[in-house]
């Protein structure tokens, strides 16, 4: 099926899916960069952008980096 054959509704759905994919990709990038919470361009903010109904319901358990570790050995 070529783009010219899509109905207006199908084209709108494809556009929405592309936008959602872009937001998820940005959220994964922010995870890798340690941008977890505290603003719109963080993992938490992007999750709320995907589903505004989740606003205030997500509690992110941010990972502890090695530099923040208090020297305790890792749990097995």
Residue 76 has pLDDT above 60, yes or no: no
- pLDDT of residue 8 exceeding 80, the answer is yes
pLDDT of residue 73: 60
Distances (CA, A) of 49 to 7, 12, 60: 26, 18, 15
DSSP string, 14-59: HHHHHHHHHHHHHHHHHHHHT--SSSTTSHHHHHHHH-GGGTTT--
pLDDT at residue number 19: 96
Residue 47, helix vs strand vs coil: helix
The 10s digit of each residue's pLDDT in 28-75 is 999 898 888 888 888 989 989 999 998 888 787 777 766 666 666 656
Distance in angstroms (rounded) separating the CA atoms of residues 71 and 73:
6
């Amino acid at each position: 099926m070529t783009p010219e054959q899509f109905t207006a509704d199908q084209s709108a759905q494809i556009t929405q899916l592309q936008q959602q994919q872009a937001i998820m990709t940005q959220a994964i990038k922010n995870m890798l960069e340690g941008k977890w919470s505290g603003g719109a361009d963080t993992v938490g903010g992007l999750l709320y952008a995907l589903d505004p109904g989740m606003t205030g319901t997500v509690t992110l358990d941010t990972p502890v980096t090695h530099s923040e570790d208090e020297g305790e050995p890792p749990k097995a």
